[in-house]
Structures are given as structure tokens and as C-alpha cells.
């Protein structure tokens, strides 16, 4: 099964929500359709971002990429209920490196 990463920049929390809800919502949205292998929080240039690694079922290269992008988009929608979001990157593991999808 191909492995992907979804990296999502996180902005401000919406009123009434706790910081841990961001990762919880992201993982719940992604795990509804895919196997989540790992999750992490990074801060790059003072901007927090969540990173979730997940797999998609074997198919064609393009179909796998489309499935990963759709899953990452659903993850972002889940997070938008609790925080503002920024850039979303989807990366695919290819020959030992993480390469952008798209």
C-alpha cells in the first residue's frame, strides 16, 4: 500500500476549542477512510502544522494520488470546524523520498 503524508498549516483556534482538538479532528477525518500510520506537530517559521502519514489501497499511480488528495482535503475540512487552516501539502513516498503529489 502506498504511503502518503498530509501536511496542513494551522492558524488560530476558533472560540471554544482546545488545541488538542485540531489533531483529534484531523485524525478522525482521515481514519474514517484510511489507515493512519503516524501523526506529528511541527513548527516551521513560527507556523504550526500537523503532519499525518497514511496509506491508500493499491491501484494505479494516478488513482492512488487522487485518493490521497481527496483524503487530505477531507482532513482539512474536519479541522476547519475547530481552527483556521493554511497551506495543505500532500506528499507520496517514492524510492525512499517524500515527493509532492500534483
The predicted model gives 46-67 an average pLDDT of 97
pLDDT of residue 102: 78
Evaluate whether 71 touches 31 at the Cβ level (below 8 Å).
no
Cβ contact 21:27 at 8 Å? no
- According to the model, what pLDDT value does residue 14 have? 97
Give me the pLDDT at residue 31, please. Answer: 97
Each domain of the chain, given as residue ranges in start order, spans 3-94
pLDDT in tens, 61-89: 999 999 999 999 999 999 999 999 999 99
Class of domain 3-94 (CATH, top level)? alpha beta
Model confidence over 8-46: pLDDT tens digits?
999 999 999 999 999 999 999 999 999 999 999 999 999
pTM of the model: 0.94
Interior/surface letters 14-34, b for 16+ CB within 10 angstroms, e for the rest: eeeeeeebbbebbbebbeeeb
Amino acid at each position: 500500500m502506498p504511503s502518503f503524508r498530509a501536511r496542513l498549516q494551522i492558524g488560530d483556534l476558533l472560540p471554544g476549542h482546545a488545541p488538542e482538538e485540531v489533531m483529534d479532528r484531523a485524525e478522525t477525518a482521515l481514519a474514517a477512510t484510511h489507515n493512519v500510520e503516524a501523526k506529528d506537530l511541527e513548527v516551521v517559521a513560527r507556523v504550526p502544522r500537523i503532519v499525518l502519514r497514511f496509506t491508500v489501497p493499491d491501484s494505479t499511480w494516478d488513482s492512488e494520488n487522487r485518493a490521497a488528495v481527496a483524503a487530505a482535503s477531507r482532513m482539512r475540512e474536519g479541522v476547519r470546524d475547530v481552527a483556521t487552516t493554511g497551506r495543505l501539502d500532500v506528499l507520496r513516498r517514492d524510492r525512499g523520498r517524500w515527493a509532492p503529489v500534483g
